[in-house]
């Protein structure tokens, strides 16, 4: 399974991912592989900048890593994911795919600017580069940085857990019937 979490910088992707992982581990799900876009870029894409061309290459690298891990792991990615064509491909490539869009207003992100992404930088998504609405997300969570975001997130964690449980049951039945 691949859980692809999309949003602008500072929208809450990492926060959501970390809490989803904690929730799943409490439910005894251990085979989790997390790809954080910022960490991935520092480790595997040092050769790339922040142009649209480089961002597309980085996204393709993340897709490839997800593809290599999805059969044995629950892969959680938290990335900007600007490209609708990649999102469409994900729906075809991955056998079990969930796309979550964490929607936050640019005005709020500029005001918060926790990691200083929006200060004196070029090629900033949401400022210099348009952030397109993602293609057919399974879930859209509006993040106004309040309790409602946390409440909605918890509902989604439960939905994801149920989906993982159903997939596990199906795999188990297939193995028994062979």
- Partnered with residue 139 across adjacent β-strands are 100
Whole-model pTM? 0.87
Three-state DSSP at 77 gives: strand
Position 107 scores a pLDDT of: 85
Longest dimension (CA), the chain: 60
pLDDT band at 174 (very low <50, low <70, confident <90, very high): very low
The predicted-structure confidence for 85-139, as pLDDT tens digits, reads as follows 999 999 999 989 999 999 998 888 888 877 767 676 777 787 778 889 999 999 9
**Cα end-to-end distance, the chain, whole Å:** 22
Position 101 scores a pLDDT of: 97
Sign of CA dihedral 13, 14, 19, 25: positive
- Partnered with residue 32 across adjacent β-strands are 74
The predicted-structure confidence for 39-85, as pLDDT tens digits, reads as follows 999 999 999 988 889 999 999 999 999 999 998 899 999 998 989 99
Dihedral, CA atoms, 106, 109, 111, 115, nearest 10 degrees? -140
Which CATH number covers residue 111? 3.40.50.300
Instruction: Please give the helix or strand (H or E) that residue 100 lies within, else none.
Output: strand 97-103
pLDDT band at 170 (very low <50, low <70, confident <90, very high): low
Position 95 scores a pLDDT of: 87
Q: Which residue has the higher pLDDT, 111 or 15?
A: 15
Give residue 98's domain range: 2-177
Task: Give yes or no for residue 172 having a pLDDT over 90.
Answer: no
Position 177 scores a pLDDT of: 38
Number of domains in the chain: 1
pLDDT band at 169 (very low <50, low <70, confident <90, very high): low
Task: Give yes or no for residue 176 having a pLDDT over 70.
Answer: no
Task: Give yes or no for residue 173 having a pLDDT over 70.
Answer: no
């Amino acid at each position: 399974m691949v859980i692809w979490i999309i949003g602008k910088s500072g929208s809450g992707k990492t926060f959501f991912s970390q809490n989803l992982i904690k929730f799943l581990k409490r439910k005894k799900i251990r085979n989790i592989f997390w790809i954080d876009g910022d960490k991935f870029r520092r480790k595997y894409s040092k050769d790339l900048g922040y142009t649209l061309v480089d961002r597309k290459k980085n996204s393709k690298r993340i897709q490839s890593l997800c593809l290599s891990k999805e059969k044995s792991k629950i892969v959680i990615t938290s990335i900007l994911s600007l490209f609708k064509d990649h999102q469409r491909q994900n729906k075809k490539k991955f056998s079990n795919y969930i796309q979550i869009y964490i929607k936050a207003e640019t005005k709020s992100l500029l005001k918060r600017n926790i990691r200083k992404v929006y200060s004196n930088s070029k090629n900033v998504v949401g400022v210099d580069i348009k952030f397109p609405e993602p293609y057919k997300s399974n879930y859209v969570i509006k993040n106004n940085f309040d309790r409602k975001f946390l409440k909605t997130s918890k509902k989604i964690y439960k939905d994801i857990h149920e989906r993982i449980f159903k997939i596990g049951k199906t795999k188990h039945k297939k193995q028994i019937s062979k």
